[in-house]
Structure formats: structure tokens, C-alpha cells
């Protein structure tokens, strides 16, 4: 028997302040929400069986990331199109009946933006710049970065067989890391506050896909030459937990 537990977390709205160097485009909708299937801790411990179809997930958001059934590559969603990035680093369009054990999605709407024109900007420096835009540390943020990259370092992992091992062991022993130089593409990701630990990963989590939607993976590092950062402020989280009884 399938048991479904839905948790809705609603945070109070906040005032967004700006610095001199950042131009904001305010458009905070009351109905904006983040949808997540499974908690990260459950997934991390080895629960890799997909329990939500991609057709169901697409109803919850057009932008996001996650994993595929049996941990068979990375999942990335951008502008309503979802892709499976397999161990070879290539991106493949998903079918509606494919499933995910863990994913985070939202209907992305830009609340503020920032142009980056003088690169290269290291990944660590880029995250510090994003920190200046994340003023309310209790809310959630969806982040999209389109640009030209001097380099990106990405990874993916192979499909697993039962009994499943913890994610750290799989990543340590079986991940495949690739580096791409001189590429245009998009970083798709989120920022979560510290108190969300266990439900999700505090801080930043990005996946990457090339402009031609042919390659990508979980982002490990990058050097951004120029691009545009867009951020969506989110104050509602819908967490759906599914377990087999």
C-alpha cells in the first residue's frame, strides 16, 4: 500500500532590500511555491526507486533538478523541458512515464536579476555574489544563470542495482567527472536555509546543461565569463513523502 504524506511549509513574506549595484525586478507572487518529492535524507540513504512520473512532476513546476529512477543519471528541468543526464554526460529528453525518487521544481518567475559582464568569475566568487542577493535567510530561492563559461566541471553517476548503497559511497567510487571548455549554457539550482537540513541540502545546489541541450550534469565547478543571474524568491514549500507499507 502506498502512503503519501504531504507537508506544506509557508513562510511569512519579507521585504527585499537592494544594494547600489543590483537592479531588482520585484514580482513576488503569493502563489509561488516550491515542490519537492521525498526528503534529501531519505534519498541519501539509498532510496532510489522512482515513485513519481515525470508527467506528474511537470504539473508541479517547469524548472528544477533531481535524480532518475535507480539513480540513473541527473535530472534537470528548464523552461518546461526535462532531461536525463546519463553517465556519459549527454542529455536525453525524458518520457512522461519515466520516474524520479527525488526532485525539486517550481514555476520559475524572475523576481530580481543581475548582469555579470567582466569574467572570468570563479564558482566560489559567484556564490559570494549570490549571497548578497539572498537577504532573507529563512526563505527559499530558485536560481537560473545563463551565460558563457570559460569552463564547467560536471558529474553524473550510473544506474544502481539493489541492495542500494548510500549516495556518498556511490559518488566516491562511481561518479564520472567531465570538464567542458568554452561553452554556453544554463545553471539551474536552488538555495536552501540551514534549518532545512535533512529535508534538503542547505546552501547552493546546481545542475548544468549546455545551450544546445546536449550535455550537462551536477555542477562541481565553473568559471563564468559573462551572463545573467535571475532569482525567484519562494516562501512556500510543498513536500511530498511517499513510502511503501
- Map out the domains of the chain as residue ranges: 2-9+32-244
Can you tell me the distance from the alpha carbon of 31 to that of 141, in angstroms, rounded to the nearest whole number? 15
Q: Which three cell numbers stand for residue 83?
A: 532531461
Task: Write the pLDDT tens digit of every residue in 25-44.
Answer: 334 444 479 999 999 999 99
Can you tell me the distance from the alpha carbon of 162 to that of 125, in angstroms, rounded to the nearest whole number? 40
CB 43, CB 166: distance < 8 Å:
no
Global pTM reads: 0.88
The class (CATH top level) of 2-9+32-244 is: alpha beta
Can you tell me the distance from the alpha carbon of 69 to that of 72, in angstroms, rounded to the nearest whole number? 6
Where are any strands of DSSP class E within the chain?
2-10, 34-37, 52-53, 63-67, 74-78, 81-85, 91-93, 99-100, 102-106, 112-116, 121-122, 140-156, 176-192, 203-210, 216-234, 236-244
| pLDDT greater than 70 at residue 9 | no
Mean pLDDT of 193-198: 93
By residue count, the chain amounts to 245
Task: Write the pLDDT tens digit of every residue in 98-114.
Answer: 999 999 999 999 999 99
Amino acid at each position: 500500500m502506498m502512503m503519501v504524506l504531504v507537508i506544506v511549509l509557508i513562510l511569512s513574506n519579507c521585504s527585499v532590500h537592494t544594494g547600489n549595484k543590483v537592479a531588482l525586478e520585484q514580482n513576488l507572487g503569493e502563489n509561488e511555491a516550491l515542490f519537492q518529492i521525498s526528503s534529501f535524507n531519505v534519498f541519501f540513504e539509498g532510496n532510489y526507486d522512482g515513485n513519481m512520473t515525470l508527467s506528474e512532476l511537470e504539473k508541479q513546476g517547469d524548472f528544477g533538478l533531481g535524480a532518475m529512477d535507480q539513480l540513473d543519471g541527473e535530472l534537470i528541468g528548464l523552461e518546461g523541458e526535462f532531461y536525463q543526464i546519463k553517465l556519459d554526460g549527454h542529455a536525453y529528453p525524458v518520457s512522461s512515464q519515466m520516474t524520479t525518487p527525488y526532485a525539486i521544481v517550481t514555476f520559475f518567475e524572475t523576481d530580481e536579476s543581475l548582469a555579470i559582464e567582466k569574467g572570468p568569475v570563479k564558482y566560489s566568487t559567484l556564490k559570494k555574489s549570490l549571497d548578497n542577493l539572498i537577504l532573507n535567510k529563512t526563505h527559499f530561492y530558485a536560481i537560473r544563470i545563463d551565460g558563457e563559461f570559460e569552463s564547467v566541471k560536471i558529474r553524473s553517476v550510473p544506474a544502481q542495482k539493489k541492495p542500494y548503497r548510500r549516495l556518498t559511497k556511490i559518488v566516491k567510487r562511481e561518479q564520472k567527472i567531465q570538464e567542458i571548455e568554452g561553452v554556453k549554457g544554463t545553471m539551474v539550482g536552488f538555495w536552501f536555509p540551514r534549518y532545512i537540513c535533512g529535508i534538503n541540502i542547505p546552501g547552493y545546489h546546481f545542475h548544468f546543461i549546455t545551450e544546445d541541450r546536449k550535455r550537462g550534469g551536477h555542477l562541481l565547478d565553473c568559471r563564468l565569463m559573462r551572463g545573467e543571474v535571475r532569482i525567484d524568491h519562494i516562501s512556500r514549500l510543498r513536500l511530498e513523502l511517499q513510502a511503501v507499507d
